[in-house]
Amino acid sequence: MSSGTSAENDFHHALANALSELRNERHASQGTLAAELGIDQAAVSRVESGHRRLTVAEAFAWLEALGLNADESAITLRDLWRTHGGRPPGFWNEGGRG
């Protein structure tokens, strides 16, 4: 999983950790989450270990399967991006414009 910028890599690593922690907080096994998502347990393991990245749609599906609603999922992803993947200030995100 080395493609992408350092910030993107940091974000995906943080997302993988957050998903694993949330699953553990819910006392759900990887197999239980996999069944909820309609995938196999090995796919859950690959994501949680950072060997596979999720698309935005997949991340929302995982968060929903773990009990978050759409608003909570959006906030979680936004906060992870701000902390681990945010880009430096630029035209679209300077001074409260983005």
Q: What is the pLDDT of residues 62-91, one digit of tens each?
A: 999 999 999 999 999 999 999 998 765 555
With respect to residue 50, please indicate whether it lies within any of the assigned structural domains.
yes
With respect to residue 26, please indicate whether it lies within any of the assigned structural domains.
yes
Q: Identify the domain containing residue 30 by its residue range.
A: 6-84
In Å, how far from its chain's centre is CA 13? 8
**Residue 35, domain CATH:** 1.10.260.40
With respect to residue 90, please indicate whether it lies within any of the assigned structural domains.
no
Query: Is residue 3 within 8 Å of residue 69, measured between CB atoms?
Result: no
Q: What is the pLDDT of residues 30-44, one digit of tens each?
A: 999 999 999 999 999
pTM: 0.81
Q: Look at the chain and report how many structural domains it folds into.
A: 1
Q: How far apart are CA 15 and CA 26, in angstroms?
A: 16
